[in-house]
Structure 1
């Protein structure tokens, strides 16, 4: 009787354990059937093949905050200052040399009159700061500019070597578009337009990136189709030079 009574709780515990194990296995199977979030994320098309947030793509830090309007006061100040400079030279047709001379005349006159007036009212003359251009930032800027120019020249050299036809056609099309823009407006207007686009397009893209990426994916598919047709009808028919005879070992 004692052995029969002890077998009942053991069988009851075993039944509970089997139910729990069955529930865990079924839930794990259902979880395995669901696609992983990483796999879903990898299937999403991103513009220019990026896999990082827009803030990281722009370099992060303060410059990215300004371009994405995270620091609205600084971004508005920079954009307003550049707009004022552009309006001064383009709308009011001011000249750079004239502006520099007028600013120097105004500054020197104000400091001179202030110094003379302070001697009459028995006050200390104004302390004119000793302004000097530091050597470090100038050398850093020159080094960075030199690096970027060398990298651009290296890229042009690789494109001109004929290794990548798609990149060659893209660069030619881009230079052709820039040549048209250069004939329509001067350099300052082109620089200002690029500056405004740089301060507006990233923040708009970050806000509507899903819609833009979906549209860009469709556009890239269509471009690849058109390029395939162009390659079949034009590029494949371009005569090529005779191949060199292979050396017989």
Structure 2
């Protein structure tokens, strides 16, 4: 009987020890989980505090729309990007520096192509060559409809934005658009449309990829610049805009 009581006492103690170990293990795991959750929340809060240009929260690739155009702008495939940029440069040199005209170029290309194909089709029996295989071109309707739909949406968005600005609801947006159009008009007086288009094309192929590479260094400078711009705008608002009766009336309505 004494031995049985001792054995039961031992088993009870071992059971209690196992239960205590499980409780401590659960506490430690829960505490580690809570620590990891706290670390994640702290990391996410720090990440949220990082300033990004234009307030973006997505990568540059997604901001540019993703897909093949974004791959070309960000040089994901260097051969394709270099080929596109080189073609645009050749077109600009041909039309702007050499002063070649688009209609003349198209006619010369068609003349040369038709002459080569016509001669080849007639003399292939004399030179023991097979006749040229002229492919049949059939444009599908879907790509044109997609481009037209996307263009229609963008035009509608532009007109809606211009209507909102013209209604006088947002003075800040009005001033930004006026200043942007003024800058574009000045740049347009310096060069023609083709040169301006080529400059924009080159900027799209250089600035995004450089920004993606050095965004951690660019964003702090952009944050300081935005703070300074906001300060200057506040001074301009206090000294000039607040004295305009119409602007003051709109501010009173918002309040």
**TM-score (ref. length: structure 1):** 0.84
Q: Sort the Cα spacing of 1:17 and 1:145 in 2 relative to 1 into closer, same or farther, 3 A.
A: closer
* Alignment partner, residue 164 of structure 1: 170
Q: Sort the Cα spacing of 1:235 and 1:29 in 2 relative to 1 into closer, same or farther, 3 A.
A: same
For 2:124, what is the secondary structure of its paired residue?
helix
Task: Trace 1:51-200 onto structure 2 (pairs within 5 A).
Answer: 51-121=57-127, 123-200=129-206
Instruction: Give the whole-Å Cα distance in 1 for the aligned partners of 2:202 and 2:232.
Output: 32
Q: Indicate the structure with greater helix content.
A: 2
Q: Which of the residues 201, 207, 215 maps onto 2:213?
A: 207
Instruction: Give the whole-Å Cα distance in 2 for the aligned partners of 1:50 and 1:16.
Output: 49
Alignment length, in residue pairs?
A: 243
Q: CA deviation at 1:11?
A: 9.0
Q: Sort the Cα spacing of 1:91 and 1:16 in 2 relative to 1 into closer, same or farther, 3 A.
A: same
Q: Sort the Cα spacing of 1:30 and 1:109 in 2 relative to 1 into closer, same or farther, 3 A.
A: closer
Q: Sort the Cα spacing of 1:169 and 1:115 in 2 relative to 1 into closer, same or farther, 3 A.
A: same
* Alignment partner, residue 46 of structure 2: 40
Q: Which of the residues 232, 238, 244 maps onto 2:238?
A: 232
Q: Sort the Cα spacing of 1:194 and 1:96 in 2 relative to 1 into closer, same or farther, 3 A.
A: same
Q: CA deviation at 1:123?
A: 4.4
1:14-72: CA deviations, max 9, x gaps?
Answer: 99789868867876786687562111111111110111111111122222111111111
Q: CA deviation at 1:240?
A: 3.9
Question: Unaligned regions of 5+ residues in structure 1, if any?
Answer: 244-249
Instruction: Give the whole-Å Cα distance in 1 for the aligned partners of 2:248 and 2:209.
Output: 52
**TM-score (ref. length: structure 2):** 0.82
Question: Unaligned regions of 5+ residues in structure 2, if any?
Answer: 250-255
Instruction: Give the whole-Å Cα distance in 2 for the aligned partners of 1:28 and 1:130.
Output: 65
Instruction: Give the whole-Å Cα distance in 2 for the aligned partners of 1:122 and 1:33.
Output: 80
